[in-house]
Amino acid sequence: MSRPTSPTYRTRNWPAYNDALKRRGSLTIWFDPEMSWDAAPTGRRGRQQTYSD
């Protein structure tokens, strides 16, 4: 017996969708200038994880 498929939602009215997102509120992100922007070494192969500006 197969599992039922979940419904697929498609946005058809993009201007109204964008306006609704704007009315929802603002998202404020605070950054600490003292924060270290380089990830700690993991000891694994591959390049070190760094964060862009």
Tell whether pTM > 0.75: no
Residue 53: pLDDT over 80: no
- The strand pairing partners of 50, in sequence order, are 38
Which of the two residues, 43 and 1, has the higher pLDDT score?
Answer: 43
Residue 48: pLDDT over 80: no
pLDDT, one tens digit per residue, over 6-17 is: 778 888 999 998
pLDDT, one tens digit per residue, over 3-45 is: 888 778 888 999 998 888 888 877 677 787 787 666 667 777 7
